[in-house]
Structures are given as structure tokens and as C-alpha cells.
Amino acid sequence: MTRLTRRAAVGLTVAAPALVLTGRAALAAEPEIYAEAGIAIDGSDPVAYFAENGPVPGGSDTLDWKGATWRFASSQNAAAFNADPLAYAPQFGGYCAFATSRGYLAPTIPEAWTLYNGQLFLNANLRARTLWLEDIEGNIAKGRANWPAILG
């Protein structure tokens, strides 16, 4: 007969909730689009990266796409996005492109961006962007190999 010591019982009592929480976290998938409080790109207009060469705060024109709210500086930009969202939405769902290339997810800031081959890539910060730029093509290939399985 196996006997449970007091130390083992206390250990199981402490560890059991952590194991349950860890198991739930492992099963939970991340959303396809990175969105703080449901807003993609921290409220920046995705079309503006292409039309105005950088992030521009979105205004009252909004669209819902893939579970996130996208904001636009103009109704023209909203219409352009609505006509072809894949042309304007950031790659890797707006998660940090450098982190994705390394096999994990990270949030992004609108100011750490790159347009490459007609696609928008965002990064967690300017340092991650610098690392991203060292091997854009290699990082894209690694990110594509990890995406979308990385979402969980």
C-alpha cells in the first residue's frame, strides 16, 4: 500500500491548481489578429502605412474584420481596406514579425513597422525592428513556417 505523506499531500494541493491552469493555457488559442481591447494596430489606420508612408491614427471610420475593429483616418481608406483587407492588414495578424520568426507571439507598436514587397510587418519595438531588418527574407520564411500554428 502506498502511503501519502503530509509533505506530498501539501505539494499536491499546491501543484494541482497550477497544473490545471497550465493545461488550460496550453489549450487556449490566441486570436488570429493582435488587438488591444479589440482594436487592431492600436487604432492606427492600416491603409495609411501604404498611402502616407507610416502610421496615422484612425478616426471614427471603422470596420470589423477577423474579430478586431480596424480604424481609418478617412472613409476612402476604410473603403480600400474593405475592398481588399489582405492587401493592407499586417502580416502575422499584426503580431510582432520578429517574434513570429523566432517561434513565439509578442505585441506590437504602430511605430515599429516595415513595408516589404507590398506587405506590412509590425514589430514589438524599434530594437526588434532592427533585428528584423538584418534578414528580412529569412525572417519572413521562418515566420511563415511558424504561422498560424504559433497561435496555439
- What stretch of H or E contains 65? strand 61-65
Quote the CA–CA distance of 67 and 96 in Å, as a whole number: 18
- Give the rounded percent of residues in the chain with a pLDDT score beyond 90: 82
The answer to whether residue 8 scores a pLDDT higher than 90 is: no
- pTM for the structure as a whole: 0.82
Residue 62 has phi, psi (to 5 degrees) of -135, 155
Q: Is the dihedral of CA 44, 73, 32, 134 positive or negative?
A: negative
- Give the rounded percent of residues in the chain with a pLDDT score beyond 70: 82
Q: How confident is the model at residue 13 (pLDDT cuts 50, 70, 90)?
A: very low
The answer to whether residue 16 scores a pLDDT higher than 80 is: no
Q: What is the mean pLDDT of the chain?
A: 87
Query: What is the average pLDDT across 47-59?
Result: 97
Q: Please say whether the beta carbons of 112 and 126 come within 8 A.
A: yes
Q: Which string of b and e fits 38-74 if b means at least 16 CB within 10 Å? A: eebbbbbbbbbbbbeeebbebeebebebeebbbbbbb
**What pLDDT, in 10s, does the model give residues 66-112?**
999 999 999 999 999 999 999 999 999 999 999 999 999 999 999 99
What pLDDT score was predicted for residue 28?
67
Quote the CA–CA distance of 46 and 88 in Å, as a whole number: 6
